[in-house]
A = this chain, B = another copy of it.
Amino acid sequence: MSGRKIRNMEEFAAVSGISRPTVSKYFNDPESVRASTREKIERALKEHDYRPNIFAMNQNRKLTKNLGIVVPYLADPFFAEIARRIEDMVISAGFRPILLSSHGDAKLEVENLDSLLSIKPAGVLLAPLGRISDTAAIERFCREVPTVNFDANIDGAGEAFVGHNNTQATEMMLKYLTRTGEPPAFFEMKSPPNPNANKRRTAYLETMERMGHTPHVIQAAGEGWEIEEIGYREGTRVLSEGSLPSRTVFCSNDRLAIGFLAAAYEAGFKVGLGDDCTLRVAGHDNHPFSRYTCPTLTTVSHNYSAIATKSVETILAMIESGVRAPERKSTLFDGELIMRASA
């Protein structure tokens, strides 16, 4: 690096001996210029260290290289992990990820979308809050920007949905628990922040029915994203009341299960499969922390690696082709049984 500071593309074009429009072309796609031209530019680039002004670029482009990622709650390790994978892929595809968290707040979710709208993203990957989302606002946004909806399905949101097969996953766990012990009770939040919960309850009820067992749903009071706390508090209550209809408990998600396990431990229950155990607990999601609970949590995996990959591929394909999907495709990934010590 040497020479005086380059202030804009004009000056950079001068020192590289190329016209400004050609330089502009190079930055939009290096392959689009002749090899000899490319060399000249790249030689100058090494000497002078210039970067085009992002704002000026994006102001004039019809399509930016921005790709929005909106998740409902980033402080949830599940979304943090999925966001991390998506960011990686987006970057290596040459896009600029803009990661926004709605922090569990529907108003902020809409503000995030508004904020994205103003930076003209090429596309958006949206994991909506779900039940409490302002669906009208979301649908309005999706008409403006190519969007792939993931994790939580909102009909009409985006050109495609990529998510978890809650039905299959729930059924699989139910069969496993029943086969190796007794039919479980279902432990969930009364007003879950995530719509997957509803699908899971429905799947539980239907499968139990089909298997000829009486379903038992235990609903935990409490709202918001302090899910472990709710699982712990309500778990403690249920265990102390002795109102558990079954010695096997299938939690709607792992965070709830983590709280429930803490409650069971404190209440002196021995959780697990062994003959000396008085309780079996299973979860759902294969949460990053589920393998460090005591005992380790038997759960059914939420294939967020596949969901992240498919979501990114879908939005990139849509951006590249420039066409919106004629019909809304839905892709569900099956869960896998993660057998550990708790059930």
* Interface residues, chain A, with chain B CB atoms under 8 Å away: 51, 53-56, 58-59, 74-77, 80-81, 83-84, 87-88, 96, 98-101, 103, 114-115, 118-120, 228, 232, 258-259, 261-262, 265-266, 288-289, 291-296, 341
Knowing A74-B83, A103-B87, the reply to whether A296 touches B56 (Cβ < 8 A) is no
- Measured between beta carbons, the chain B residues less than 8 angstroms from A76 are 80
Q: A77-B80, A88-B103 are in contact. List 11 more A-B contacts (CB 8 A).
A: A54-B118, A55-B56, A74-B80, A75-B288, A84-B101, A84-B103, A98-B98, A261-B292, A261-B294, A266-B294, A294-B294
Closest to A76 in B: B80
- Measured between beta carbons, the chain B residues less than 8 angstroms from A88 are 103
Closest to A81 in B: B75
Roughly how many angstroms separate A77 CA and B262 CA in the complex, as a whole number? 19
Roughly how many angstroms separate A51 CA and B295 CA in the complex, as a whole number? 53
Roughly how many angstroms separate A103 CA and B81 CA in the complex, as a whole number? 10
Roughly how many angstroms separate A120 CA and B103 CA in the complex, as a whole number? 26
Closest to A262 in B: B292
Roughly how many angstroms separate A99 CA and B102 CA in the complex, as a whole number? 13
Roughly how many angstroms separate A37 CA and B291 CA in the complex, as a whole number? 61
Q: How far does the Cβ of A216 sit from chain B's closest Cβ, in whole Å?
A: 24
A59, A76, A98 pick with most chain B CB within 10 angstroms: A59
A294 touches B293 (CB 8 A): yes
